[in-house]
Structure 1
């Protein structure tokens, strides 16, 4: 079986045209791609035959897991990921396999975001320990794409700018009751109250986030304006809560493909029937790759965000229409791919700078946070940033996988409000 896998890998890699990959095993080597090209050149050394089995079964995820298991070594993870990105279109076409696709679909169901699974999926990432997140986030503890303004901008200023952008898009008023859907450590809720004096309910499934958020809110003297609940969004009762505004800041990525219509249905039911507005910021997958991606399992949604799913923009719009039966209408949308690349680069720099200091605290509670996983995450974020810069000069480079999309959805205005009232009563 192993020789056959090697042959299949060689056939696939023969399609590479940008940069080069040299595979070394038992003193023998093979070069793929173009060694004379100016693109990335990387050496991969196979240390165990188990690597070929993983690669056959789960492809790029197999590479990541083989690296963490010490079955391979690479001269540069960043260059390896860049090599894959630059050649992705030809490599994916050459390696398409119904067997692999079936395995990916079956594996993806393991992390489904039912009410029973979602709490454990969220806890697996956000309850790793607040010390780890404090290591690389800004002082507001905002864990989402920042909005930058110039080369000298700071992470703190860029995150506050992003929070203000969402608040402005929602047109928050002092009288508004706002749902912060996936409130994190409370930064959006606190900024909204600071600027407008509105009331906010923040919901999360992370016990550690709730603890820190409530402490920060109390210290800021905002406990009378902000409440935090440990609850799944599907369990909020519309009979008890009617929100003027809903802001979802990179929370929809935890919903899962099959639950996107349910998510928007619940948001519609929770919004005020006449003047409700929803603002959503999300990491999105490009349209070209979405059909393949939506039932797959990769390193991010297995090891970093269990059950995670980055929808495409069209999938978000379709789910909002389906879930609300046409009653949530898209008012505006904006895209910020360059800003996420820079955010990831800054997080990576801060993460690596503070890693050794926090490891003693985090590792005993989370043994999976090992050196290899740290290198994979940091290399991936760095390569996304470098790829974004290179895409404008390399015609062979495809668009980055994830970008940031901000959408504003609102209810029909007074002319159709009576229909909406009837529609809601039928539910």
Structure 2
């Protein structure tokens, strides 16, 4: 008996999906330990419709009617679930009086009908639907002025905002940002449209008071249909050639936090934050809960997002050339003298703008001008840069640790003398 019960018990970790909307699996679950959230996706938002506590049953309509699940279930924490299959449920129902069995079946049928009635299905063909919104956006953006003589006004390419377009698509269709980007990238690869980046920059004053570019970022993108008049004809032909696939519309909702990502890839959050800062993790993998982020951004204010507050590092935490901004000028001058002009050029070529400004401030005007001139067209050799970085940081630690090392040696000598 104990073995049979054990076979029908399942355990899920926090955040693990138990089942997905649309999935066929004729079993129900009773919560033995922990809590489970039941949610649906409405207007591309995760809407919690219930939380199951110990002793409660969910997924029962799939057992009785054999229909797919009408919602998603995820473990809020570590949960133990008792699996109730059709055989078990029928055995329990057979123990009930006949009228009660009919009432239960009637109620379950009614619930199933109501759930299907209010269930918001995703677009049957998300590719074609997104293309249709592309065409409508082009028409809405197209200026009323006539085209050049002999040209078709409807076929004039007009760029429009990527950010605004994506917002409109998510308000109309039940698709994720990943699906939108996949369609746009496919259209660009096929030469049907162009995607151009609109860049902006942040500026910082150098030691001479000149404004220099500190960093660049993509502010928006422009989408342009190359042949607007024939775009939908091409889109329909492409849609027919696409392989049939119906991925679950809620797959992108399996979010993990930074700690969870670190555990998945066997790293630490600190290393991942550095990789984010160095653009080593793709931008299309960043997602934020919109309402919570909007509320937090209002609390922080606009000024918070205009500048970066750098954490001061200890000597032992220095890792790359850009960490040299935390080293005092006198130490840097000594390091530059020891490694020589060529290696200073290597460091300067591989450094970001803030670090370059710091380095130039530690040099004479003549040497600084030579470094800027020599490194203008210099290609960065990653292997050589890594070697010079390691040498420079080792020298910094050696120079900054001289006093401590001498004091330690003196204490060791005193201890040996006392021992004798």
Q: Give the TM-score normalised by the residue count of structure 1.
A: 0.24
Between Structure 1 and Structure 2, whose CA radius of gyration is higher? Answer: 2
Q: Give the TM-score normalised by the residue count of structure 2.
A: 0.24
